[in-house]
Amino acid sequence: MSESDARDGGGEAVTTEKRSGPVPLRRNRGFQLLWTGSAFSTLGLETADMAFPLLVLAVTRSPAAAGIAGAVQMTTALVLGLPAGELADRFDRRALLLVVESLRAVAIGSIVLAQVTHHLVLVHLLAVALVMGAMRPLSATARMLLLRSVVPPEQLTAALTREEVRISGASLAGPPLGGMLFALGRVVPFLVTTLTFLVSISCVSLMRPQAGADKTFKADEADKADKADKADQMHPDASSAVRRMLSGTVVMWRNPLLRRTTLFTAVMNAASAPVVLIVVVQLQHQGISSGLIGVATAGLALGGLAGAALVTRLHRLSPATLMLGQAGSVAVLLCLLGLSLGPWWAAAVLFLLMLGVPAMRVLVDIVMFRQVPDEQRGRVVAAVMTLWGLGAAAGTLLAGVLLDFMSPLAILIAIAAALGIVFCLGLASRAFRAMAWPTEAAASDH
């Protein structure tokens, strides 16, 4: 690689590192471009996610139609989760992200055009929901893998922590922004969202990921891991395509550390996903206004932001201690959340619930990066995200059904009891307690 190539984009970090240590993230051009584009894109998505059901309701006056649109988007994202990993491993990730952001811009921009010309109908909105759902897993996987191509191994935790700040910040600012912009006009939030995607496209276009930057795995190990993939490419058929898509799940399951961390976080995700729904119902029963309910649920985003600042400190603990501590504390906090003490109490408890979540997510990300060869990471990332999505969907569905028959307090206590069982099982397992952080050197011998 020439020096001029090394100075371009993400390669700057790698070349400078050879001379005088890694470049600080604030001066890593590749990382800053990726993070900035991701921040705009995520803010646009959060804004659109708030405004979209409001638009469906305004167009159709049917809550059922709004529910169908949301279900289309979530179902599509789950169904296409594993194929997204296959695409991310097979094609250039930067090019994939450019395609994703372009399709998003076109889809959301079409709403603006249809609204302005008075041709907006439900079928059009459902088609947009389909496109947005399809792009979500591909975007998440491609961004995650691009991050590793512009950040050296020793800065991975810091970079992933900044990703948590991005996600939590957008979750905090996006919903109120979407509601405020919709009040100005039906088309306004979607016009703003389209512009955020265009900014993201510009940032990704300027990126130059370092080719071959990930040297975590030895060449012979990477060849061994990719042997089956090459055989499938030589003899493509439906079964080989399915086998490749499922290979990420197989890799995840065969790696003890990755299996335990993924399953544990999936259970935690299933337990925490319905909390917002339960809190909303609980506060409605108390006669709390919609505005104050929104303030209460904002505690989650604020907790995520604060939790991002604790990632480094929490990662001084062993993985088992971190996960068991999270399960135990969440179980206690869920019981406290069941106390009907008003919106500010709910906001405070939700804030505390989220403090450990960024550290948990970064834990799984680090394990994936250090335990899985780059040639298979896309499929493993997609498998993990799909498992998390299934857990969240199952938890939310079950809680929604139970709310017709049980009080919010009873459901929260039931979830806390389930987490208590998980805590006891983890504490009783010697293999679980012995889990240690994977190192780059260990990963290279994996």
- Residues 202, 293: Cα–Cα separation, whole Å: 37
Q: Domains, the chain, ranges and CATH? A: 1-208 (1.20.1250.20), 249-446 (1.20.1250)
Write the CB contacts of 194 (distance below 8 Å, at least 6 apart in sequence): 44, 105, 108, 109, 112
Could you report the per-residue pLDDT of 165-186, keeping only the tens digit for each? 888 788 778 888 887 888 888 8
What is the percentage of the chain residues whose pLDDT exceeds 90?
Answer: 12
Output the pLDDT for position 225: 46
Output the pLDDT for position 238: 53
Could you report the per-residue pLDDT of 218-232, keeping only the tens digit for each? 444 444 445 545 444
Cα-based angle 95, 40, 378 (whole degrees, multiple of 5): 40
Amino acid letter at 48?
A: A
Output the pLDDT for position 113: 94
Instruction: State the DSSP string of 22-74.
Output: PPPGGG-HHHHHHHHHHHHHHHHHHHHHHHHHHHHHHHH--HHHHHHHHHHHH
* Alpha carbon of residue 54 to chain centroid: 24
**67-76, 100-109, 129-138, 298-307, range with the lowest pLDDT:** 67-76
Write the CB contacts of 340 (distance below 8 Å, at least 6 apart in sequence): 282, 285, 286, 409
Give helix 63-79 / helix 29-60 axis angle, nearest 10°: 150
Output the pLDDT for position 192: 94
Distances (CA, A) of 295 to 287, 288, 330, 391: 15, 11, 21, 26
Going by C-alpha positions, the residue among 432, 394, 429, 436 that lies closest to residue 415 is 394
Could you report the per-residue pLDDT of 391-438, keeping only the tens digit for each? 877 787 787 777 778 888 888 899 899 989 989 988 888 888 888 887
pTM recorded for the entire structure:
0.73
Mean pLDDT of the chain: 79
